[in-house]
Structure 1
């Protein structure tokens, strides 16, 4: 549904500032709730947290659909609901990531994460096509109702899944929230791998902002604002991600998973430069497919390394810290790059950040302790 909201705003306003506000609303609430969500994921039933947060997202979406049907159509309502959905996602994400190693054997984590990434990409591949078709012939509220229906189905399936409560959640909690938070921070800071990964994600997150969030605006300005172009833009990227997920599920990456991350970062940077150079829409689309294929190269091994190396009772907090980096720095990046997109051509921003991503990927090879942590023992 977030595609539809962003497209609606980009097409209605053609404003980098409005797209920036929308992006901030989609990520900033995650930042605020993540400090709590990580501790909750370690202290309480993770399956229940996922169900409740998904229910919150669906309820907010349903209310928005009803408001739009009543004829009240204000851009700020869209921003508010984006914020509520972000809040729910902030609770859900650490719980989901920490739940996976509870139900999957360690030697199968890379394959399962690859399959999970493929499924997510398939959903994201279909979503733009559905959104584009509905927005072309119908209204935004139709997409909202569809989103609510799929959420109900997902919650129903999850409720049938039997998952044992992890050890810490089963114990009587004899420490307060802030003690658990402090212990999680101490654990993360004393772990060289987690520190290295968070630093990488911090720099990476800022540099991918133009490629991740300004491509919609670039398409509308450079190639045209028809919904079929926006649909092709999103579908091409997620088609590539789906293929990349299949590759990771079958291949598993290099034996050293940190090298897989570095190669993925360099490839993403090179293709971001190519996006900035592309002058023909169909060439641009082909490059977006290849760009999408690089995403699992750094997402899957990063997730697996955290699931393998972080203690089960600490995983919720560690995943929340990683989420804080992404949800906090994405809006910060948009505060910088969004307004710049109204002054400097987005293509130029793509080229500059793409080159910096290549430098970031190469620098990983010189971090010996980080490389050492990436060796796959299975």
Structure 2
């Protein structure tokens, strides 16, 4: 058993890295293309809304279906739908420049498909790995995403510069195909569905909601995560604009920032894998938030000539990120039964994503009027305060609170 589950994850991750890598290439290339062609914070914020809003709106309802459906097949279908949108948008860019509204529409569809893929993958993890290894697996997962975030922007800008955005999008189709083929050879058991006892969609939806609310530590951290999302998520769209407008640099410098952020995430994920279970999950999260907040504050203070300092701060920010994401996901996976996990993960994801459009709606006009560094500075102040709150809230507890059901 100990060897088998590791082999299963090695097989899954070896396929998923292709899909994640090409998606990272697409994500950065689209953001940079919009940045370079429009130079508008408002356009970037609308693109961000198109990418976040469908997942936020659909998430709570999709969770009911995820707990009914085969999770492996759901992942394959969702990844295939994302690949199809890449194929369509890639064809548009190969034939000419599509309107912004076509780009927004494609981003909406990709977001809707992603709302099925990510929760089904996370809900499948506890069906494979032992409970005491979930934080370690979360560290591995962060390593995969981090490695892709390093290579994705660099490869994306290289292919984009040498060919076109259309070519980058077509590579995403190949990545999804490889990931899906690898998944076909993996066995993932299904939890026993509860639909026999509770056949009503509404009742299943409410059961998931009340299950989420029953775990007070999860609710507390999720509320903190929602506030964090309001102030921090817009930075994902503003990093390239910071490089272009504040430092006056081009696409390769923007991809360098993404790369060093990703290298930091790799090291942070590796550190989490090594130190898993040394501290409470909430301790990792509070440390992560304080470090992220401080690096944001300092990023908002650096001068136009201090691009090297911004690069170092981006590295430290990236290194701190897995220390929040990994333990938070492991904490959720440990707190709920597998047959409810799809719904709970969808609720949690939607809460964070519903918070993101608020931040995007605020960040566009604020960054447009006061500059991108202004948003970096004040978002950092808020994130530091959130980190202090999480630490104080869970200070003095010997272990993270666990569910009554287990």
TM-score by length of structure 1 reads 0.95
196, 199, 205: which one aligns with 2:223: 199
Aligned equivalents of 1:9, 1:364: Cα separation in 2: 36
Tell me the SS of whatever aligns to 2:187. Answer: coil
CA distance in 1, matches of 2:393, 2:235: 26
CA distance in structure 2 between the partners assigned to 1:168 and 1:161 by the alignment = 21
Which residues of structure 2 form unaligned runs of 5+?
1-25
1:13 is matched with which residue? 38
1:301 alignment counterpart:
327
Structure 1 residues 160 and 173 mapped into 2: Cα distance closer, same or farther (>3 Å)? farther
Structure 1 match to 2:243: 219
Give the corresponding residue for 2:139. 114
Corresponding residue number in structure 2 for 1:288: 314
The equivalent residue for 2:273 is 249
Q: Is 2:204 the partner of 1:188?
A: no
Check if 1:175 corresponds to 2:199: yes
Alignment of 1:1-378 (within 5 A): 1-168=26-193, 172=196, 174-252=198-276, 254-279=278-303, 280-368=306-394, 374=400
User: Cα distance, 1:173 vs. partner?
Assistant: 7.0
Deviates more, 1:251-260 or 1:24-33: 251-260
Q: Deviations over 1:80-127 (max 9, x none)?
A: 111111111111111111100100111211111101110111012111
Counterpart-to-counterpart distance in 2, 1:262 and 1:208: 15
My pick for the range that moved more, 211-220 or 96-105, is: 211-220
Cα drift, residue 162 of structure 1: 1.0
Give 3-state SS (helix, strand or coil) of 2:370's partner: coil
Cα offset, 1:70, TM superposition: 2.7
Deviation at 1:291, TM superposition (A): 0.6
- Shift of the 187–338 alpha-carbon distance from structure 1 to 2, 3 Å rule, reads same
Q: CA RMSD in A?
A: 1.9
SS in 2 for 1:168: coil
Shift of 1:71: 2.5
Report the secondary structure of 1:39's partner residue.
Answer: helix
Alpha-carbon distance in 2 for matches of 1:187, 1:151: 33
Question: What is the CA distance between 1:141 and its match in structure 2?
Answer: 0.4
Is the 8 Å Cα contact of residues 234 and 356 (structure 2) preserved in structure 1? Answer: no
C-alpha change, 1:254 and 1:346, in structure 2 (3 Å) is farther
TM-score (norm 2): 0.89
CA contact (8 A) 2:139 2:270 kept: yes
C-alpha distance in 2 between matches for 1:301 and 1:96: 16
Higher deviation after alignment, 181-190 or 284-293:
181-190
Cα distance change of structure 1 residues 172 and 183 upon mapping to structure 2, 3 Å threshold: closer
Deviation at 1:312, TM superposition (A): 1.1
1:163-196 deviation per Cα after TM superposition (whole angstroms, max 9, x unaligned): 1122117x75751211100111112223212211
Going from structure 1 to structure 2, the CA distance change for 1:200 and 1:76 (only over 3 Å counts) comes to same
